[in-house]
Amino acid sequence: MREPETNPRTTASSSLEPSCTAQLRTRRVALITGASGAIGAAIAEQLARRGDDVWLAYHRNGEKAERLAQHLQATYETSATALPLNLLDRPAMHQALARILTAHGRLDILIHCAGVTRDKLLIQTGASDFDDSLELHVTALYRLLQACLPSMRAHHYGRIVALTSYAALHGRTGQSAYAASKAALIGLVKAAALEEIAHGITVNAVAPSVTASAMTDALTDSEQARLLHQIPLGRMQTPAEAAALVEWLTSEPAGTVSGQVLAADNRTHRW
């Protein structure tokens, strides 16, 4: 897909006056990892609907990311670009960011939504399962932050949201690696928030509960019934509901909210 052309009205430099910066933020530039997943796609839809230019990072499901980009461009007055990105490859990450900066001159929003689950009891969890979970959820976010923060600091503006999980807050049987890595992600978010708020950058996390997706659709009827029994609301969260929290955290009214974990867990405190 052809990359969006640089727009002189929205390309920024570090010497922008406050009034010019405020005008710039009416159409912001967002990078979303895991954009081909259910929640990632819903976040992209929310941001594109309000007029943001979105970059849809994917690793394997390029066809789905391309279809999503085409849909967003056809539906909303914004640009959407599917972006191949291996989050475990540091040089590739910097190359991807360079593409965004070449096209727009800045990056305003970073959403880390990519994730992996390999459900096993702790005693059955191999070292590679644990390492892979830490790499994608924590190390990848660390690398993304190091790559994106210099540009955000230069423009004294940034909105960063990472997806954590109910399991990080309360634990979950069979998800020791997932819960541990998502909990570590929260620690990184809180530390980064303290360091970056003085630079006009907020860093937060959203912890969804069980969310309707292709993964939950693949569960048997009995497995779905067991999950629903633990949710007082009586249903799973929709991707759009999780995305709405992310959209708010990246909005102007949320400019003083940083270092927080918004838990949309339906009070599912028993597994």
What pLDDT, in 10s, does the model give residues 223-248? Answer: 777 777 777 777 778 899 999 999 99
pLDDT at 8: 38
In angstroms, the CA 150 to CA 154 distance is 6
Say how many Å lie between the first and final Cα of the chain, rounded: 44
In the predicted structure, residue 122 carries a pLDDT above the cut 80: no
Strands 109-112 and 80-84: unpaired
What count of other Cβ atoms lies within 10 Å of the Cβ of residue 197? Answer: 16
Q: Where are the domains of the chain?
A: 24-264
In angstroms, the CA 264 to CA 206 distance is 7
In the predicted structure, residue 44 carries a pLDDT above the cut 70: yes
pTM over 0.95, yes/no: no
In angstroms, the CA 192 to CA 206 distance is 15
In angstroms, the CA 35 to CA 253 distance is 24
Percent above pLDDT 90 for the chain: 54
Structure tokens at 59: 């690793």
In angstroms, the CA 43 to CA 55 distance is 11
Confidence category of residue 4, pLDDT binned at 50, 70, 90: low
Look at domain 24-264 and name its CATH class. alpha beta
Helix axes 176-196, 140-154, angle to 10 degrees: 20
Strands 201-208 and 80-84: unpaired
pLDDT in tens, 104-114: 999 999 999 98
Confidence category of residue 204, pLDDT binned at 50, 70, 90: very high
What count of other Cβ atoms lies within 10 Å of the Cβ of residue 95? Answer: 12
**Tokens 């912890």 sit at which residue?**
207
Choose the weakest-confidence range: 144-148, 152-156, 163-167, 242-246: 163-167
pLDDT in tens, 55-113: 999 988 889 999 999 999 999 989 999 999 999 888 999 999 999 999 999 999 999 99
In the predicted structure, residue 268 carries a pLDDT above the cut 70: no
pLDDT at 202: 98
**Tokens 């069980």 sit at which residue?**
210
The residues annotated with a catalytic role in the active site are 178
Confidence category of residue 26, pLDDT binned at 50, 70, 90: low
In the predicted structure, residue 175 carries a pLDDT above the cut 90: no
